[in-house]
Structures are given as C-alpha cells and as structure tokens.
Copies of this chain bind each other. A is one copy, B any other.
Amino acid sequence: MIPTPYLLFLGDAPDQLAAKVAQGIKDWRPENAVGQLRLPGCGADVGLADTTLQQAWDAGARTLVIGVANRGGIISQAWKDVLIEALGMGFDLASGLHNLLRDENDLVAAAHVAGQTLHDVRIPSVAYPIANGIKRSGKRCLAIGTDCSVGKMYTGLAIDAEMRKRDMKSSFRPTGQTGILITGGGVPLDAVVADFMAGAVEYLTPDNDEDHWDHIEGQGSLYHVSYSGVTMALIHGGQPDALVLCHEPTRTHMRGLPTYDLPSLEDLRDTALPIARVANPNCEIVGISVNTQHLSEEEAAKYLADVEARMGLPTVDPFRHGAGRLVDALCAL
C-alpha cells in the first residue's frame, strides 16, 4: 500500500486532461489528498489548495503522487528538483507512468539516501499465486464492457461510493494504475504474467464478510482481441456474483481496431454470463451502465429508456444520474 494522504503533483501539465489521475484522486478519495503542487506554466487545476512540500508535510501528507501524464508518459527533467526535494523531506513518490521512477538514477539515489520508497504502480510488487478457484465468502461485482475505455472504472467507483453513502460494506478493487493511485493499492493486471492473472484477481478480492461487496475494476473487453485474455482472467479470478454491462453508444469500432465492430449488449450478455457461471453458478447481470458523454441530456434519456426496455435491466449513466439504481439491483440479488 502507498502511504496516504497524498500531495498531488501536477507539474507543468499543459491542460486539465493531462492531470486526470490527480483529478480522479480528488474526485473519488478527497480524504487522500491534502493539496496540489503546480510548477510555473501549469495549465491544470483539480480544485485543491496550492500547497508547498512543507505545508503538505505538516498537513500529514506522506507521498507525493505524480498526478500528471505528459506525452509519452516520461518523467520530465523539469520535475526532478521537486521530486528529489520531496524524497529528502521524507515523502515517498508514486507514479503510474510508463517511464518508471526506478529507472531514473537520480531518483533511485535520492530515495536510497533518504530511506524512502518509489512506488511504480504499473509494476506488480507481489508474487501472485496461480488461481485455485475456491469459492470465497463475500460478494463481488465486476463491470465488463462492449469495448475498452467505456467507463468500467468510473462505474465501479460510482457504485462503491453509493454503497458507502448507504453505510454498506464496500471496497473498490483497482486493477489499473489510475485506480491503484486513487485507493493506494491494487493489482496492475495488464502487467501480470499470464499464468498468474486469475490468481492475482483472487489475491485482490479475498474472503470477506458475507454482506461486503468488492467492486472489481474491469479491464479490456471479451470482444477486444488485444486484451480479451485479461478480461477473461478477471471474470474467472473474480468469480463475480454480479456483472454490470458497460457501453459507449457513439463508438463506431473497437478502440484501436478499425475493422472490428462493437458487439451488441445482447451479444455481450449472452457471451459473458455462461463464462462467469463457470466460476460462480449464481452470477447474474444486474444492470447496464452507459457512458452518454457524447449525447445531449435528451438523447441520453431516450437512449437509456430504449436500452432498459429492450434488455429488461436497470440502465443508467452513473455520471449523469448516479449509481443508485445499480446499487438497488445489487441489494435485490
């Protein structure tokens, strides 16, 4: 686990989109962020107080999280003075960038001298077991998509937030770098060695109270030929009790695969449910989460109503309308 709370480093982010990791932390775990640190020329603002390293330290922050991604995912030389100063003061550093902290000699040396840890959340830090398939206690929900990047992480976080609001027992279980930085822990599943993928998901979602819900962050899609193996391992390692189908209705082809059409929600349902029932015979599809960001309010309402009528399942955009109906459906299981 990464020590919390964090100071969010926005660096010289050219625009708001470049700071989406920091924004995710601020939106979903505001209690994990004491402030933001921006360099001259920074074009992003996640709505936290601008905070110096010393102020953040005094406020209890123990990790400086690189909440910015620049082109190519590299660690900019312009950031180095602040990063090295932070290590010297006793902060850990955490990053989800492709360019690893541990590959920067100056950061490695400064961390060594200071006795601090560099958290590269893209790299597994655990020797995960091979999955044993044994039934675990507690409840699990997995969001699966017609395509990659259709809102699976957002859906899981929104359901988790709604359950917490209702004082239910609930955990979000990240499987990608943004989710790991938001919560401070998880499994970077796309970087796990093939034989251990399903075992890593079992490790991530252990036995729990019978009324506790794990919301497992989805990855890829059963219909995305580049990443479908990762999705399969999530379904079989996660042994979910409930699936939420996720969709983005304006996508014209599978992400990055111009000759591949998206499946229908019916296709996804009919493919995923028998596969999920191999690991958990009681698995049900409880609802549909549609990312309507490219539709007007009116178009979105009509689209959601049409899908709900067609599929016979609660259909919402959790960003626009909240995840309440999905949580109602999970509670009714």
Contacts and interface: CB of A to CB of B under 8 A. Distances in A.
Interface in A242-288: 254, 256-257, 259-260, 263, 271, 274-275, 278-279
Instruction: Report the copy number of this chain in the oligomer.
Output: 2
A229 B226 contact: no
Nearest to A129: B226
Nearest to A130: B226
A195 B259 contact: no
Interface stretch (A4-12, A186-194, A322-330): A186-194
A228 interface: yes
B257 A222 contact: no
Contact of A225 (B190, B230, B279): B279
Given A225-B133, A225-B236, A271-B274, A191 B194 contact: yes
Contacts of A233: 194, 228-229
Interface residues of A, number: 41
Nearest to A261: B278
A232 interface: yes
A271 B237 CA distance: 18
B199 A195 contact: no
A191 B279 CA distance: 23
Interface in A197-244: 197-199, 222-223, 225-233, 236-237, 239
Contacts of A275: 222, 228, 271
Given A259-B134, A278-B225, A194 B195 contact: no
Given A134-B259, A271-B275, A195 B230 contact: yes
A274 B275 CA distance: 12
Contacts of A107: none
A275 B227 CA distance: 13
A232 B228 contact: yes
Contacts of A195: 190-191, 226-227, 230
24 contacts: A132-B257, A133-B257, A133-B260, A135-B259, A190-B193, A190-B194, A190-B195, A191-B193, A194-B194, A194-B197, A195-B227, A197-B229, A198-B225, A198-B229, A199-B226, A222-B275, A223-B278, A225-B239, A228-B278, A229-B229, A229-B230, A229-B236, A231-B232, A271-B275
